[in-house]
Chains A and B, each alone.
Chain A
Amino acid sequence: AQTVTQSQPEMSVQEAETVTLSCTYDTSESDYYLFWYKQPPSRQMILVIRQEAYKQQNATENRFSVNFQKAAKSFSLKISDSQLGDAAMYFCAYSGGGADGLTFGKGTHLIIQP
């Protein structure tokens, strides 16, 4: 079974600074997808960024980028120019193709200090 580990229960960063959230996963599959989801207090999960395992290039979405290290099974999220609205729980998730849905890590609570 696949597992996803987020080793940072909580992170704090000053507004406008850069922060990196860590995620490691375990799988025997070669083709899969990785995601970062954001869950603000409103509870709704919002997709931040996705990475296809077969793509070597790291995904980027505006201020959000990932460092995908397939051999090391590592998938970290970098948030540049942190904003107050970035404060939320961030979940790393793995998908191998649908049958088991998404496998989530336990999340990292990101605090933005003004």
Chain B
Amino acid sequence: EAGVTQSPTHLIKTRGQQATLRCSPISGHTSVYWYQQALGLGLQFLLWYDEGEERNRGNFPPRFSGRQFPNYSSELNVNALELEDSALYLCASSFRATGRDTEAFFGQGTRLTVV
């Protein structure tokens, strides 16, 4: 069974540009979470999608957005890139909302570098 896949593995963008990151959850999983892992800041919750809807977002500006498609894959868009957006972006999927009785499986992440 395929795990959570993220693409691209690495992405280099110029300040002010837009970045699009993609995530394919494990088959059967409907919940997708996005996390930012910036150096020195640990992992921070970005967005939660479930059944095609944005359910919650973390403390990030509106230029961080995304969507979930009918096949439950998800896209994270970061507009007007800033240098501090450079980080590892991790996607996780679960059958239901994380915590109650299910496990979140993580992808290998997309390393975004803003120059």
Question: B107, A44: Cβ atoms under 8 Å?
Answer: yes
Residues 36-66 of B, flagged 1 when their CB comes within 8 A of A and 0 if not, give 0000011111001000000110100000000
Knowing A47-B103, A50-B103, A107-B42 are in contact, say whether A100-B90 is a contact too (CB < 8 A). no
Contact of A45 among B90, B97, B111 (CB under 8 A): B90
Count how many chain B residues have C-beta atoms less than 8 Å from C-beta atoms of the other chain. 28
CB contacts (< 8 Å) of B19 on chain A: these are none
Q: Is A98 part of the contact surface with B, judged by Cβ < 8 Å?
A: yes
- Min C-beta distance of B91 to chain A, whole Å: 10
Is A102 at the interface (CB under 8 A from chain B)?
Answer: yes
Return chain B residues, CB-CB under 8 Å to A46.
Answer: 106
Q: Considering the complex, which residues of chain B in the window 60-89 have a beta carbon less than 8 Å from any beta carbon of chain A?
A: 88
User: Which B residues are within 8 Å of any A CB, using their own CB?
Assistant: 31, 33, 35, 41-45, 48, 55-56, 58, 88, 90, 92, 96-100, 103-109, 111
